């Protein structure tokens, strides 16, 4: 009989007594075995779509000229008028140290609408044909919470759009089902190759139709890691009408927290504090868990105020409301988060991939508050780890390395006093990540009765020199007791 759970833990003699004729054995030959990694905040479809787009990440391009060359070459092979999408540019790593504009992209592909996505997921650049296709002109007003960058002399959009992906994407024809499934297969293999057996999709507009899509992908075997899907705040009522409540689903596909966004791209909070309070209270009163996207100190404070507002009116133990990112978290805010009993879902690999940029762009007065893993631990605040993929690569071991060493990709130190031991860094990707989605009874540690989700590593992160952690490879990934990936 197949079993997807751990039935016994012991020495070789005890385990050999359980082996039957049809038992498949895996000899790890002394390698390190850890619970399968759980990425507590990522964007599965966005990652898949990035695999269908031109790679404009720092690993693929060094300048705007490189981006133009890639777009120009690609445009030669596709029908005129068809969209060209490009992914993950980072202006900090471009030789010009600026964002591309519509004029740059016009030179590369004047006969195609082009969309160039920023690595953060909060900005994009369109060329002139793309702006026209999206209906964005000099007369177009900014949607609330968004910004259309404009040329000073004419007022025309220069192509750079803030917080407007949801507008632009409506103008881009949907990918074919076969193309999307092919990209999901590639994403699936990537996750499994990194030892990731659980994903938590934190996309802000997740609705019932997307749930159905994930259900199809899971049923077809296209996406093997266990998936918890957050519900977009505006789609909660639709889920309820279909009889779905928090934690609906099973070990393969589960409905998780309700995602709320609070930003300040325009220089003021969006939504307003009053509106955020109302939204959070609505979810809290319904017995749900809210996950609030908050990056800057001001937005984190707004999230804290909203949670305090809800809990003051209706105290509730064990709510596990989440603050996603909490990137700039000074001591006073951290103390309030602890008092609330909220969970922080943070991104250790941002220290590695973004550390050099933070040391240049973040004001010196704010730097001591960046990604305070050590402070979270010392203050007994549960912190789960994630990649926010496709913002940065999803490799958990790079995240563990960053949490332990606090070193950037350029070798610079970023708040060494906020470093944590390797075992605690691993816990953020396992036990804490499971706790953040109310699943610690079934995953996150190697224990009898828990799901048999495991990763076999080439070395032990707790015993190798810290500098070697990022080079550790996953040899085997086991999901539900079955080997699903081998190096």
Q: What is the pLDDT along the chain (487 residues), one digit of tens a residue?
A: 357 999 999 888 888 788 887 888 888 888 999 999 999 999 999 999 999 999 999 999 999 999 999 999 999 999 999 999 999 999 999 999 999 999 999 999 999 999 999 999 999 999 999 999 999 999 999 999 999 999 998 999 999 999 999 899 999 998 888 899 999 999 999 999 999 999 999 999 999 999 999 999 999 999 999 999 999 999 999 999 999 988 999 999 999 999 999 999 888 999 999 999 999 999 999 999 999 999 999 999 999 999 999 999 999 999 999 999 999 999 999 999 999 999 999 999 999 999 999 999 999 999 999 999 999 999 999 999 999 999 999 999 999 999 999 999 999 999 999 999 999 999 999 999 999 999 999 999 999 999 999 999 999 999 999 999 999 999 999 999 999 999 9
Secondary structure class of 402 (helix, strand, coil): helix
Domain with CATH 3.10.310.70 in the chain: 53-171
Q: Does domain 53-171 have CATH number 3.40.640.10?
A: no
DSSP 120: T
Q: Are 324 and 345 in contact (CB under 8 A)?
A: yes
With left for phi above 0 and alpha for psi between -120 and 50, is residue 472 left, alpha or beta? beta
Q: 163 exposed, middle or buried (CB, 10 Å; 0-12, 13-18, 19+)?
A: buried
**Token pair for 275:** 């509106």
The pLDDT of residue 235 is 95
Sign of CA pseudo-dihedral 191, 192, 195, 198: positive
Give the separation between CA 27 and CA 236, rounded to whole angstroms. 46
Place of tokens 């605690």: 424
Which DSSP helix (H) or strand (E) runs through 51? helix 44-51
| Residue 369: partners with Cβ closer than 8 Å, 6 or more residues away | 297, 328, 329, 330
Domain with CATH 3.20.20.140 in the chain: 37-43+177-486
The pLDDT of residue 1 is 39
**Measured CA angle at 401 (ends 400, 403), to 5 deg:** 65
Give the separation between CA 419 and CA 469, rounded to whole angstroms. 14
Peptide bond into 482 cis (omega under 30): no
Least Cα distance to 43 among 247, 261, 227 occurs for 227
Least Cα distance to 228 among 51, 483, 427, 41 occurs for 41
Secondary structure class of 355 (helix, strand, coil): helix
Give the separation between CA 405 and CA 471, rounded to whole angstroms. 13
24-55 burial, b at 16+ Cβ within 10 Å, e below that, comes to: eeeeeeeebebbbbbbbbbbbbbbbbbbebbe
Give the separation between CA 421 and CA 378, rounded to whole angstroms. 12
Give the separation between CA 261 and CA 116, rounded to whole angstroms. 23
The CB density around residue 463, as the number of other CB atoms within 10 Å, is 9
The pLDDT of residue 102 is 97
Peptide bond into 271 cis (omega under 30): yes
C-alpha atoms less than 13 angstroms from C-alpha of 3 in its C-beta half-sphere: 12
Q: Are 111 and 77 in contact (CB under 8 A)?
A: no
For residue 26, which phi and psi values (nearest 5 degrees)?
Answer: -125, 110
pTM above 0.85, yes or no: yes
Report the CATH fold assignment for 37-43+177-486: TIM Barrel (3.20.20)
Q: 131 exposed, middle or buried (CB, 10 Å; 0-12, 13-18, 19+)?
A: buried
Which DSSP helix (H) or strand (E) runs through 432? helix 431-436
Which DSSP helix (H) or strand (E) runs through 477? strand 474-479
């Amino acid at each position: 009989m197949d079993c997807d759970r751990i039935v016994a833990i012991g020495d070789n003699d005890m385990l050999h007594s359980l082996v039957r004729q049809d038992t498949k054995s895996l000899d790890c030959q002394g390698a390190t075995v850890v619970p399968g990694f759980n990425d507590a905040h990522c964007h599965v479809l966005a990652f898949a779509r990035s695999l269908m787009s031109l790679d404009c990440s720092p690993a693929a391009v060094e300048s705007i000229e490189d981006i133009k060359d890639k777009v120009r070459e690609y445009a030669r092979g596709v029908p005129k008028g068809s969209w060209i999408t490009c992914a993950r540019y980072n202006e900090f790593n471009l030789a010009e140290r600026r964002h591309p504009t519509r004029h740059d992209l016009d030179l590369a592909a004047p006969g195609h609408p082009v969309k160039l996505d920023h690595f953060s997921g909060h900005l994009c650049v369109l060329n002139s044909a793309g702006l026209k296709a999206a209906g964005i002109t000099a007369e177009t007003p900014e949607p609330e919470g968004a910004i259309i960058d404009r040329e000073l002399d004419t007022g025309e959009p220069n192509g750079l759009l803030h917080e407007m992906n949801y507008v632009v994407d409506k103008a881009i024809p949907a990918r074919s089902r076969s193309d999307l499934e092919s990209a999901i297969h590639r994403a699936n293999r990537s996750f499994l190759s990194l030892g990731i057996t659980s994903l938590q999709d934190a996309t802000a507009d997740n609705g019932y139709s997307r749930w159905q899509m994930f259900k199809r992908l899971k049923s077809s075997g296209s996406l093997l890691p266990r998936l918890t899907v957050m519900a977009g705040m505006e789609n909660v009522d639709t889920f309820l009408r279909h009889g779905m409540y928090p934690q609906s689903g099973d070990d393969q596909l589960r409905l998780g927290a309700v995602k709320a966004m609070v930003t300040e791209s325009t220089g003021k909070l969006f939504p307003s504090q009053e509106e955020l309070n109302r939204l959070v209270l609505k979810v809290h009163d319904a017995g749900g868990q809210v996950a609030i996207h908050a990056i800057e100190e001001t937005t984190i404070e707004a999230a804290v105020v909203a949670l305090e507002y809800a809990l003051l009116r209706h105290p509730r133990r064990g709510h596990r409301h989440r603050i996603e990112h909490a990137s700039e978290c000074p001591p006073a805010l951290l103390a309030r988060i602890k008092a609330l009993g909220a969970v922080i879902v943070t991104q250790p690999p941002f220290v590695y991939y973004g550390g050099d940029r933070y040391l240049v762009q973040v004001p010196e007065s704010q730097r001591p508050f960046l990604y305070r893993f050590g402070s979270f631990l010392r203050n007994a605040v549960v912190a789960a780890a994630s990649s926010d993929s496709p913002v940065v690569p999803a490799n958990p071991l790079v995240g563990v390395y960053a949490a332990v060493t606090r070193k950037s990709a350029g070798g610079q130190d970023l708040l060494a006093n906020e470093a944590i031991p390797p075992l605690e860094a691993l816990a953020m990707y396992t036990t804490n990540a499971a706790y953040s989605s109310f699943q610690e009874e079934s995953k996150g540690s190697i224990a009898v009765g828990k799901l048999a989700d495991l990763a076999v590593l080439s070395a032990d992160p707790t015993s190798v020199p810290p500098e070697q952690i990022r080079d550790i490879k996953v040899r085997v990934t086991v999901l539900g007791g079955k080997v699903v990936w081998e190096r």
